[in-house]
Amino acid sequence: MTPDDLVALVRNYNPNCDEDLIRRAWDYGAAMHEGQRRHSGEAYFTHPVAVAALLTEMRLDDATIVTALLHDTIEDTRSTHEEVAQRFSPEIAELVDGVTKLTNLQLSSSQAKQAENFRKLLIAMSRDLRVILVKLADRLHNMRTIRSMRPEKQGQKARETMEIYAPLAGRMGMQWMREELEDLAFRVLNPEARNSILRRFISLQRESGNVVSRIAGDIRLELDRAQIDATVYGRAKKPYSVWRKMQEKDLTFSRLSDIYGFRIIVDDVAQCYQVLGLIHQRWRAVPGRFKDHISQPKQNGYRSIHTTVSGRDGKRVEVQIRTREMHEVAEAGVAAHWAYKDGARVENPFAVDPAKWISSLTERLDAAGEDHDEFLEHVKLEMYADQVFCFTPKGDVVPLPRGATPLDFAYAIHTRIGHATVSAKVDGLRVPLWTRLRNGQSVEIITAEGQRPQASWIELVHTGRAKAAIRRSLREEDRERFVRLGRELMRLALENVGRRLTDKALETAAQMMGLKDAPDLLARVGSTDISARHVVQTLFPDLAAAQGDRVDSAQPVVGLEPGQSFRRAACCQPVPGERIVGITYRGKGVLAHAIDCAVLAGLEDQPERWIDLRWLDGRHQAVHAVSLEVTISNNAGVLGRVCSLIGGQGANISDLRFSDRKPDYFRIFVEVDVRDAGHLHAILTALNAETDVAEVRRLRDPTRRP
């Protein structure tokens, strides 16, 4: 492609474009990338040019096309933000800088890092959505040419595309891009499945002929009879779309229906419903497969009627009916806001204002606060949302993601209503709160004063907004209880090293750990976000290290070769005083298993990996974590007494969480740091003697990884 070719593409939809600006950007980008090569061996500048060409298909403005040509200059060349602003404009410099920052985000990194990067992505979107349009086009071209990358890099890019960029394109209404990105990633991640589906399509075409053209001909015949001028498109669905449906419904290809899709484009809304009537008169409609997105449009502006019918030879086909303006938005999504035609912005009445769209998205995501897991869960739910539309008793429409429940509906109206929900009616009938809502249902929420969210509600809701609101309420409600529990855990941990709990000690620890204040520290200890032992080590590192130093906790066993590393096996958690055997693991050193560990049975035919180990004699430090499951009655003060009993035996609780809650009992998971088998026996005896403790058992799980 030459500069003249690119200018011609832009002039096709925008005769008033700034040709000089585009040519200057081409020359500057080519000069900056001079000598650089892609993995395929091509000149690097062919990539920015291809991205710009992709964006002309969306009929975008000059600034976006120029940004595409320059999008890698600040990152990969000697170019700077200031130089781009001076040569072109501050607007273009900001756009290029925004794309550069997105490129540097490692979206498939660790959970906390990924959540933070998602926030940055949303901030970039909120400043100017054109940044994302350039980035999506950049990713699409990279996926089209991914074969030149190293295999491991291909897998990383494909996963990132499938998890992030394809859903984002779909959320923005650019369904064609979502489908192509998914299919390109699918080709890398599961080539055998994709090839198998393609072979099935070829075989089906060989057996049945060109089904698409025959059904499209049948539709055109009906439209001609009714004298309706319309355009009909037909195609087989993309391999990834077919494979996903096979996985979701657990069906083989031969049992799969509606693998063909058709679009009918007409002049006005009245014709949409007229065509719907013709289709349903000619073919039998499939129950439950009708959606009217014209009367209930999606948030990204998408409007269309969807119906599935039993077509020729009983084959199910999906038919989408929309006007030409609706089709433009369906193809371009939110990008339709910038589309040009004949040198001017297209005034499409269905195009969504990007500022309002991004505001509605980020507003709901802000509720997740600083909780990384919560934010990530919320943003992915929003990205993958497949909506249903329900009605309030007054007839107001409430859009929700598929799988939402009456509780989600209540929180979508207002957090206060969600908190106070006691039951719900759907279409006038009382239903359980876990009922999955369907399109078009009327939902009435019944509330009661004094009602508060329950922990079990987390499992009943589907939307990020509802989950975030429930968790916030539970945290506030539990905070006082966690502070009391944290104070008791800290008292026991400090007594274990011969120190007394004081407000000054707590304030000092909070300051040293970068926390707000002492209550914040206690709440985190009580909720097991921070262990009491860690706080003690922060305050008194020398005392914590000196406790029980007769045996070095780093080398508490005899039988290792010089340089061999040692760890206790997580599956059986052996402690001093119990017979052990060492097993060598590649990359993990030697793991000590209890002699009766179930894992050892599977290693009997590998005697070369066995090492004779024994614990050193002497006083061991209380650093050997043991997992206990304790069933206690649901009475006031029981949990505190259990913690006191453990602390009374000189043991530290390093983790505590509820594994089951019932009206009459709680089952809790407790991780206790013990010195040896005798110390553990004393703790178990003390707990078993407590009236409100129904059962105590040591947890050993052979499925845990070494």
HEC string of 190-244?
CHHHHHHHHHHHHHHHHHHCCHHHHHHHHHHHHHHHCCCCCEEEEEECCHHHHHH
C-alpha span between 108 and 164 (Å, rounded): 9
Instruction: Kindly state whether residue 81 falls inside one of the protein's structural domains.
Output: yes
- Per DSSP, the three-state class of 123 is helix
Phi then psi dihedrals of residue 350, to 5 deg: -100, -10
Assess whether 233 and 272 both reside in one domain: yes
- Per DSSP, the three-state class of 626 is strand
User: In this model, does residue 246 exceed pLDDT 70?
Assistant: yes
| Residue 495 annotated to the active site | no
Give me the CATH number covering residue 171. 1.10.3210.10
Q: Which of 107-111, 555-559, 560-564 has the lowest mean pLDDT?
A: 107-111
User: In this model, does residue 444 exceed pLDDT 90?
Assistant: yes
The answer to whether residues 354 and 340 touch, using CB atoms and an 8 Å cutoff, is no
The string of pLDDT tens digits covering residues 67-89 is 999 988 888 888 888 999 999 99
Assess whether 324 and 243 both reside in one domain: yes
User: In this model, does residue 370 exceed pLDDT 50?
Assistant: no
Give me the CATH number covering residue 212. 3.30.460.10
Instruction: Kindly state whether residue 428 falls inside one of the protein's structural domains.
Output: no
User: In this model, does residue 455 exceed pLDDT 80?
Assistant: no
Between residues 243 and 668, the one the model is more confident about: 668
Instruction: Kindly state whether residue 298 falls inside one of the protein's structural domains.
Output: yes
User: In this model, does residue 30 exceed pLDDT 70?
Assistant: yes
Assess whether 126 and 168 both reside in one domain: yes
Percent over 70 (pLDDT), the chain? 83
Mean pLDDT of 660-671: 84
Instruction: Kindly state whether residue 27 falls inside one of the protein's structural domains.
Output: yes
Catalytic residue chosen out of the listed positions 75, 91, 179, 520:
75
For residue 300, the enclosing domain spans: 194-345
Assess whether 37 and 178 both reside in one domain: yes
Assess whether 185 and 243 both reside in one domain: no
Mean pLDDT of 471-476: 79
DSSP bridge partners of 390 = 398
User: In this model, does residue 403 exceed pLDDT 50?
Assistant: yes
Assess whether 199 and 179 both reside in one domain: no
CA angle 593, 597, 600 (to 5 degrees): 80
Most confident of 134-143, 170-179, 291-300: 134-143
* Domain end position, chosen among 189, 205, 230: 189
Q: Which of 36-50, 381-395, 591-605 has the lowest mean pLDDT?
A: 381-395
pLDDT band at 22 (very low <50, low <70, confident <90, very high): very high
User: In this model, does residue 481 exceed pLDDT 80?
Assistant: no
Q: What is the pLDDT of residue 480?
A: 76
User: In this model, does residue 209 exceed pLDDT 80?
Assistant: no
Assess whether 73 and 206 both reside in one domain: no
Between residues 4 and 615, the one the model is more confident about: 4
C-alpha span between 229 and 232 (Å, rounded): 10
pLDDT band at 546 (very low <50, low <70, confident <90, very high): low
User: In this model, does residue 604 exceed pLDDT 90?
Assistant: no
Assess whether 171 and 293 both reside in one domain: no
C-alpha span between 280 and 308 (Å, rounded): 9
Q: What is the pLDDT of residue 439?
A: 72
Instruction: Kindly state whether residue 318 falls inside one of the protein's structural domains.
Output: yes
pLDDT band at 141 (very low <50, low <70, confident <90, very high): very high
Instruction: Kindly state whether residue 425 falls inside one of the protein's structural domains.
Output: no
- Per DSSP, the three-state class of 698 is strand
Instruction: Kindly state whether residue 648 falls inside one of the protein's structural domains.
Output: no
Q: What is the pLDDT of residue 248?
A: 62
User: How close are the terminal C-alpha atoms of the chain, in Å?
Assistant: 57
Assess whether 59 and 171 both reside in one domain: yes
- Per DSSP, the three-state class of 604 is coil
Between residues 693 and 248, the one the model is more confident about: 693
User: In this model, does residue 356 exceed pLDDT 70?
Assistant: no
Q: What is the pLDDT of residue 574?
A: 93
The string of pLDDT tens digits covering residues 84-115 is 999 999 889 888 888 877 766 555 444 444 55
Burial class (CB in 10 A: 0-12, 13-18, 19+), 314: exposed
Assess whether 62 and 149 both reside in one domain: yes
The answer to whether residues 419 and 452 touch, using CB atoms and an 8 Å cutoff, is yes
Instruction: Kindly state whether residue 31 falls inside one of the protein's structural domains.
Output: yes
The string of pLDDT tens digits covering residues 124-133 is 666 677 888 8
* Domain end position, chosen among 302, 318, 345: 345
* Domain end position, chosen among 152, 171, 189: 189
Q: Is the dihedral of CA 578, 584, 588, 589 positive or negative?
A: positive
Between residues 294 and 389, the one the model is more confident about: 294
C-alpha span between 650 and 674 (Å, rounded): 8
| Residue 529 annotated to the active site | no
Assess whether 16 and 147 both reside in one domain: yes
Between residues 534 and 305, the one the model is more confident about: 305
User: Rounded to a whole number, what is the largest CA-CA distance in the chain?
Assistant: 97
Between residues 208 and 656, the one the model is more confident about: 656
The string of pLDDT tens digits covering residues 294-344 is 888 877 678 899 998 886 666 778 899 999 888 888 777 766 666 666 556
User: In this model, does residue 372 exceed pLDDT 70?
Assistant: no
C-alpha span between 193 and 149 (Å, rounded): 21
Mean pLDDT of 135-143: 91
Catalytic residue chosen out of the listed positions 19, 27, 42, 76:
76
Phi then psi dihedrals of residue 256, to 5 deg: -80, 135
pLDDT band at 677 (very low <50, low <70, confident <90, very high): confident
pLDDT band at 116 (very low <50, low <70, confident <90, very high): low
Mean pLDDT of 603-625: 82
- Provide the 10 A C-beta neighbour count for residue 277: 10
pLDDT band at 233 (very low <50, low <70, confident <90, very high): confident
Q: What is the pLDDT of residue 104?
A: 60
Q: Is the pTM value of this prediction over 0.75?
A: no
Assess whether 185 and 203 both reside in one domain: no
The answer to whether residues 386 and 440 touch, using CB atoms and an 8 Å cutoff, is no
What total of structural domains would you count in the chain?
3
